[in-house]
Structure 1
């Protein structure tokens, strides 16, 4: 339920954030419609940067799995999947605060563009981790778990398209991004809490693996 809430919040922020690009780059910096579209490349670069974590986490996985096998175990615990989220979750509120308060004519447009790279990085890390953790935690029931999470996420986030533009229009870029950053910051501790207390939580479920 908490991961479903986290992914829903992330999706609401994502949809609201993307609607703000017109306000951030077209109105603030005078970008044309085409150049504003190119600004989304920053998020794409951030998504690619998240892949650079794979070799490091894979090396940790091999080391931990060797220790577990030496103790008679056969596989890594689901909590190992949370490394991506723990390394990426703080990047989301940081990027939102960064973009919100530096997207102004007196500051170079490179500042919000670099912030968008951090945003893309954080978003992918959280999504990779959350889905892998749910799959490993529920195994046989993972399809049902993922379906419920996806349904909740899309239903809740779909409404963000309706209020995103009025949000930016009435509050402006700085305060809209600040509110989104504050909401995402409240969810940042979740992957760390699951990393520590995940085994105890899974023991209380009749569907999760122990």
Structure 2
């Protein structure tokens, strides 16, 4: 029960990346309050029409999901290049770098286009890079934590979930007052600055993550991959080749010799039966 909190407060990787995902998660829940303010209160949309503003975020998440094969190719390339046959955990972070660049850009875009003088499609389109970046950051960081801590991955994810859920619950509590006091533009810009401050984290852990993991007692050193059984494979192939090269004795017989052998066996069998009958008659 205590290990998630130990990881959260003693492991820099868990603490920093959990804080990052918590801010992104809190921003998502803050938008559930900000979008009605921007599109319904400011622009006068109805509740039903105002809900359509989230289509941009949904489209961005679909694009982020479609980028999963690209992420897999990057990871497989790192696996092939690794001398141990296993990709380092940092190979999970390139997509988080992309997502980290998309998130503040999208929130700044939304912040300064949320006024009624700007066409309504412009702030809605800002949701596309936000949804894509959010999905990329989440998926990359979760996979990175799993690869870093292996048998302690459940505790690392629990710590991440606790902090993320906490900020997701807190952000909507003050979002209405923040937008009323700061205005639509600067209230959103404040969240964008938070996201911008967290954006370098994937880059830093990509560069220094291996050194940080080496000092951790919870991040096990991955053993090298076992070598391929070359000798066993060679001996097996030699045995198979010898079996192929040496035909079976029965199949190697010529047809006429095989027929003669069968005839001799039949004659011997009949002679044995005749002897048994003769013995029975004598008895």
Interval containing the TM-score (normalised by the shorter chain): over 0.9
How far the C-alpha of 1:32 sits from its partner, in A, is 1.1
Matches within 5 A, 1:1-210: 1-68=15-82, 71=83, 73-210=84-221
Bigger radius of gyration:
2
Q: 2-side partners of 1:196 and 1:160: how far apart? A: 31
Higher mean displacement: 128-137 or 29-38: 29-38
Q: Displacement of 1:113 after TM fit?
A: 0.6
Q: Which moved more, 1:135-144 or 1:50-59?
A: 50-59
- After superposing on structure 2, the runs of 4+ consecutive aligned residues of structure 1 that deviate more than 3 Å are none
Q: Deviation at 1:61?
A: 2.5
* Conserved 8 A contact 2:65-2:135: no
**Local SS of the residue matching 2:112:** helix
The corresponding residue for 2:268 is none
Residues 38/145 of structure 1: CA separation in 2 closer, same or farther (3 Å cut): same
Structure 2 distance, partners of 1:55, 1:209, is 28
Structure 2 residue runs of 5 or longer lacking an equivalent are: 1-14, 222-283
What whole-Å deviation, never above 9, does each CA across 1:18-63 have from its counterpart, x for those lacking one?
A: 2101111112322210011111111110001112322222222232
Residue 270 (structure 2) aligns with: none
How far apart, in 2, do the equivalents of 1:102 and 1:87 lie? 23
Report how many residues are paired: 207
TM-score, normalisation: structure 2 = 0.70
The answer (yes or no) to whether the contact 2:100–2:133 under 8 Å persists in 1 is yes
Structure 1's 148 and 101: CA in aligned 2 closer, same or farther, altered over 3 A? Answer: same
Question: Gaps (5+ residues) in structure 1?
Answer: none
CA contact (8 A) 2:24 2:134 kept: yes
Root mean square deviation, CA, Å: 1.2
Deviates more, 1:186-195 or 1:167-176: 167-176
Rounded Cα–Cα distance in structure 1 between residues aligned with 2:183 and 2:112: 11
